Structure 1
Amino acid sequence: MDFLALAESRYTTKKYNPNEKISEEKINQLSEVLRLSPSSINSQPWKFSIISDEKLKNELASVSFFNEPKIRDASHLVVFSAIDDVEKFEQQIKQNLPEGAVGYFNQFIKPKPEAEIKAWFGHQVYLSLGFFLSACAALGIDSTPMEGIKTEEYDKILNIEGYTTLFAVAIGYRAAEDANQPSVKPKTRLALENVVELV
């Protein structure tokens, strides 16, 4: 399937089949996709938690508002977190990035207020989301990106020091009766001429 066909068929899954699990091989592939995600200056200010343990998944589901049933029934839950410690980030890039990339950060990002620096970290994590959703579609895996979660509770449950939860993605395989799939509910988008301008 070409990429355009994947874009046409991919959708946000509303109901999962709890009896169908993603193979370890595919989870390993998705892990590598996340590692290879793009970010400005290759900054990589992130951490990804791929959760299959049912007890932990259910605990996170309980602090996820209306997304609870999706998380409970999905095969896995992937939590996307951004680094929350500017000093830790600076140490990371000094150890792993070339001088030019570090210089860019020091010149253009570091002088900004801390809230803006952390917002920049978050932007990089959102770049990885698009990459990840596309990879799921390519592997035949259904997905549900979710901001409707209690991020502070996620931080407590996962106990990830130096990072903060931004959003999560339930992944698995759709239930046959999922009413949101394109074969039941055709995908709608704004007209091409309203969103793309060829100059």
Structure 2
Amino acid sequence: MHFLDIAKNRYSTKQYNPNEKLSEDIVQQLTQILRLSPSSINSQPWKFTFISDTKIKSALATVSYHNLEKIEQASHLVVFSVIDNVEKFENENLSQLPETATNFYNQRVKSLGEAGIKNWMQHQVYLSLGFFLAACASMGIDSTPMEGIQPDEYNKILKYDGYTALFAAVIGRRDVADFNQPTFKPKFRRPLEEVVESI
């Protein structure tokens, strides 16, 4: 299948089949795909947590606003986190990068100050989400990105140290009656000429 066809059929799943779990092989492939995500200067300021444990999923579901049902139904919850300390990033990530990368960071990013650096790091994690959603779609796996979480509560439940949760995604197999799939609810996008320009 061409990727354009995949893009036309991919959607944010609202209802999952709780009886269909993803195989360990598929989950391992997805962990490798996330590890290979692109980031500016190969900065990789992230951590990805795959959760299938029902108790932990349920605890996180209760601090996920309207996403509770999806989390409890889906096969896995994937939490996307970012390094929460600039010094940690510089000591652990930046120190492993080539000189051209560190020069870019020192000249273009560091001058933004702590808030700007953290914002830049968060942008890298969002890049990995797009990569991940596309990978899921190409593998026939249903997914739903979720910003509707309480990061501080996620951090407590997952006992994060040095990282903070940004957003999450659930993955699994859709309920055949899911109302949001394109066959029931046609996908809406703005016209091509409004969003793409050729010069």
Normalising by structure 1, we get a TM-score of 0.98
Q: What is the 5 A alignment of 1:132-171?
A: 132-171=132-171
User: Could you report, residue by residue, the CA deviation over 1:96-139 in whole angstroms, capped at 9, with x for unpaired residues?
Assistant: 21111111111111121211110000000000010000000011
Map of 2:54 onto structure 1: 54
Looking at structure 1, the residues matched to 186 and 108 of structure 2 have their Cα atoms a distance apart, in angstroms, of 44
Match of 1:175 in 2: 175
User: Which residue type is aligned with residue 54 of structure 2?
Assistant: E
1:84-123 matched pairs, under 5 angstroms: 84-123=84-123
Query: CA–CA distance in 2 between the matches of 1:96 and 1:4?
Result: 37
Q: Determine helix, strand or coil for the equivalent of 1:17.
A: coil
Distance in 2 between residues matched to 1:70 and 1:60, nearest whole Å:
11
Q: Is the 8 A contact 2:74 2:173 kept in 1?
A: yes
Distance 2:94 2:178 in 1: 47
Question: Using the alignment, how far apart are the partners of 1:88 and 1:107 within structure 2?
Answer: 19
CA distance in 2, matches of 1:128, 1:117: 17
How far is 1:159 from its partner?
Answer: 1.0
Matched, 1:2 2:8: no
Q: Can you give the 5+ residue segments of structure 2 that lack an aligned partner in the other structure? A: none
| Residue 42 (str. 1) matches residue 26 (str. 2) | no
Whole-Å separation in 2 of the counterparts to 1:25 and 1:111: 43
- Structural RMSD (CA): 0.8
Corresponding residue for 1:79? Answer: 79
C-alpha displacement of 1:93: 2.9
TM-superposed CA distance for 1:95, in Å, is 3.7
What is the percentage of aligned positions where both structures have the same residue?
62
Q: Name the count of aligned residue pairs.
A: 199
Q: Matched residues in 1 for 2:9 and 2:106: separation? A: 42
Alpha carbons 2:45, 2:93 under 8 Å: kept = no
1: CA distance, partners of 2:84 / 2:149: 18
**Superposed, which structure 2 residues align to 1:14-33 within 5 Å?**
14-33=14-33
Indicate yes or no: 2:64 matched with 1:64. Answer: yes
Q: Which runs of 4+ in 1 moved over 3 A?
A: none
Q: TM-score, normalised by structure 2?
A: 0.98
Q: Secondary structure at the match of 1:113?
A: helix
Contact 2:16–2:174 under 8 Å retained in 1: yes
